[in-house]
Structure 1
Amino acid sequence: MSSTQASDSKRSKEDRTTLRPEEIFWRDHQPWLEQKGYMLRPRYRPGWVASWAGKDAKYWDYEDSKVLKAGHVIDATRISDGQMVMLKRISHDEHPYEKEISLYFSAEPFASHPRNHCVPIYDVLDIPEDEEHFILVLPFLREYDDPRIKSIGEAVEFFRQVFEGLQFMHECCVAHRDCMNLNIMMDPKPMFPRMYHPRSDRKTLDFSGNATYYSRTARPTKYFFIDFGLSRKYDPRDMPPVEIPIHGGDKTVPEFFDSSEPVNPFPTDIYYIGNLIREDFLQKTTGVEFMTPLVEDMVQDDPSARPTIDEVIQRFEQIRKSLNWWKLRSRLVENDEARGDRVARTVHHFFRTLAHVVYFRNPIPTPRC
């Protein structure tokens, strides 16, 4: 590609005054979605014109310049109560079990079960004149590690909830089969009580400033498994199952290397979670080295040598009980921190921790169910 072509391509990507192809579906269905009780942002309403058009201004300073992160998912506001939700467009053919498994965990007696960490489904919308797709209405969630997990206790609580959620799924004979880091998210409402713009950290549609938030220790949050497109539910009489490998987002699964032999998907779930902790914590931060022996067992090449989720939780509980309050209050240090940032964060952490102690906040911030 020539330099001129590259420059034209860059300008095209930065041009937010017209909708991208993946955005047009939502614009065209906005009136129907509004009838169903869900309002899209101004950008996705018929007749939208960029608010910065014709002005000597930077487009990124305007709310309606924010495009979708993925074309099949869009944020919306539930008209009945003003709550932010997510709409996910799904193909019946590509993900034939996603609706079934999602609704299974969203119905009682599972919906209110305290160990259920599967994202709940608020609504299922059948798209007019489109028998191939449907839309799931989900809570508005946020990446599990944004803002950063700042203390050892906060990391321990994340591990606990993830292990607990996977155990609950496995007890229900459901294998997630893609439980990598992007498919574990958190409820932002406790930490962001006034919420934020869905595609930035600015305040909502007024874009008047940055959204404020609290730490996990001050406002404990709950973590959720999402995206059941590759998941399977099995008959208890057929356990343990064997399945042809399905490659999820984590491409490092040892049993999938150069092999298409059917395998038990439950040990693969163990690998996914172990590798998440290895890559996102043990390799990137200092402070949770006590997880190393357990994680090394979870990511063994031989699936049959990995612990079950019940064994993982039993070992994790012993680890958790061995951690004193000072360790749990300690800062989770990112390995790539610049020296100046490390000093500033350490000082800030000291005063933040002092406030937590004064207010008797638990160093392992478990949310109320």
Structure 2
Amino acid sequence: MATQSSTIDAASETRAAAVPSRRGGLAKHEYFWRDRQPWLQERGYLLRPRYRPDWKPSWLESGRPYMLCEDGQSTLMDTVLDATRESDGLLVTLKVVDTIVHPYEVEIAQFLSSEPLAQDLRNRCVRILDVLQDPIEPHKLILVMPLLKPFREPKFLTFGEVVAFIQQAIEGLRFIHDHHVAHRDISILNVMMDATPMYSEKLWHPRMPIFNRDFSGRAKHYSRTERPVNYFYIDFGLSRKYDPADCPPRELPILGGDKSVPEFQDDGYDVPSDPFRTDIYYLGNLIRSTFLNRYHGFGFMEKLVADMVQDDPEKRPTIAEVETRFDEISRRMWSWKLRSRLVRKGENILLSAVRGTRHLFRTARFISKRLPAVPTPSS
């Protein structure tokens, strides 16, 4: 370990001198990855050129704006970065976990990725491919996971695509709850998708998704109907696993990404509550804010979502009840409704007419190919 640290320190000094301090250069929060790049490569994970010892900013010679260069794309935080697994070229995500701050994250994430749980088709939890012990800070571990994409990008086109998402989200949360784990931080940031089936040629760039990985052009993609995708829950930093004999548990609030939880407001912040019921609120509010509040035509979901986000946690349905009710709702939906276009609230009339015409031709093509109205991934 001492040898590794010395090597990393030496490499850091060399790169600090080589990389100019100017716009587009490494930000301070990127030093974590720069300092560990040789060590990560020894373990089979290759970072983008920006973080390598021999990096020379390409825009200094090309004259292009740094923001239009692949190596000009920084990471937003020091805890998450994309990489390539050298053994097979798989694109992965590296996440740093401080075990002092989040002592249960790695254990729970590995549990949900373990066998035979990993083979369960209901398991919508991100897979843990590897766990690395940081060579400098002993209390930090690095999780290696498949590269995923925010579940809303590219955008949903039809009600059927949304139904497929909600179905998987409910199914995945039931799987988590059935194994006595409460997620405790479900939000738009912590639900992702494996978008690789949607991309026809080259995958997207993690920091600039409109471009492909090598910035040689725009990232072209299919729709979810043409290339169905799988959705996954990520980030188990606030999650807890409970003994079934002690359920339902009672926990003091832990604030996650969604700050609107009714039982966490005002005096409720000092009152223990059932984290499983809070998960129901989180999922209901995610559906409400992402779809019901943005698009016309989601009346079929209003009653179920309203029950999921009730102020009184004990009045909310369990995830098993949510699943049963949603299955009944989706079975009653007509094909024409499922294939209908999502129309944003407040959408311009002229723009709506143009998009509607395009959608008609697109739908005719999908029907001719016998693509299901509710896209279902093969696995």
Instruction: State the TM-score, normalized to the length of structure 1.
Output: 0.94
Equivalence for 1:60: 67
| SS of the residue 1:180 aligns to | coil
Q: Which amino acid aligns with 1:34?
A: Q
* 1:181-216: CA deviation from partner (whole Å, max 9, x where unpaired): 1100000111114312221121222x1210110100
| Structure 1 residue 57, shift from structure 2 partner | 2.8
Q: Distance in 2 between matches of 1:266 and 1:98?
A: 17
Of 203, 208, 212, the match for 1:203: 212
Matches within 5 A, 1:15-94: 15-53=22-60, 56-94=63-101
Equivalence for 1:361: 371
* 1:213-247: CA deviation from partner (whole Å, max 9, x where unpaired): 01000000000000000000001111110111101
Change (3 A) 1:305 1:15: farther
The answer to whether the aligner puts 1:124 opposite 2:131 as a matched pair is yes
Change (3 A) 1:67 1:203: same
* 1:16-46: CA deviation from partner (whole Å, max 9, x where unpaired): 4321111011011000000110100010112
* 1:254-311: CA deviation from partner (whole Å, max 9, x where unpaired): 0011221111100000000000111111111112221000000000000000011111
Matches within 5 A, 1:234-313: 234-258=242-266, 259=268, 260-313=270-323
**What runs of 5+ residues in structure 1 fail to find an aligned partner?**
1-13
Matched-pair contact (CA < 8 Å) for 2:30–2:77: no
Matched-pair contact (CA < 8 Å) for 1:192–1:212: yes
| SS of the residue 2:229 aligns to | coil
Equivalence for 1:189: 196
Q: Distance in 1 between matches of 2:24 and 2:155?
A: 33
Q: Distance in 1 between matches of 2:226 and 2:174?
A: 27
Q: Which amino acid aligns with 1:298?
A: M
State which drifts further: 215-224 or 348-357. 348-357
Q: Distance in 2 between matches of 1:80 and 1:54?
A: 32
| SS of the residue 1:27 aligns to | helix
* 1:40-95: CA deviation from partner (whole Å, max 9, x where unpaired): 00101124221112654322221111111322100001101111100001100111
| SS of the residue 1:310 aligns to | helix
Equivalence for 1:11: none
RMSD between aligned residues: 1.3
Equivalence for 1:5: none
| SS of the residue 1:255 aligns to | helix
| SS of the residue 2:145 aligns to | strand
Of 344, 351, 363, the match for 2:354: 344
Q: Distance in 2 between matches of 1:144 and 1:23?
A: 26
Q: Distance in 1 between matches of 2:78 and 2:355?
A: 37
Q: Distance in 2 between matches of 1:28 and 1:336?
A: 49
Q: Distance in 2 between matches of 1:188 and 1:336?
A: 29
| Structure 1 residue 341, shift from structure 2 partner | 2.8
State which drifts further: 147-156 or 43-52. 43-52
| SS of the residue 1:190 aligns to | helix
Equivalence for 1:107: 114
Equivalent residues, number: 355
Matched-pair contact (CA < 8 Å) for 2:83–2:93: yes
**What runs of 5+ residues in structure 2 fail to find an aligned partner?**
1-20
State which drifts further: 346-355 or 154-163. 346-355
| Structure 1 residue 15, shift from structure 2 partner | 4.9
Change (3 A) 1:357 1:313: same
Q: Which amino acid aligns with 1:202?
A: F
Matched-pair contact (CA < 8 Å) for 1:17–1:53: no
Equivalence for 1:150: 157
The answer to whether the aligner puts 1:161 opposite 2:168 as a matched pair is yes
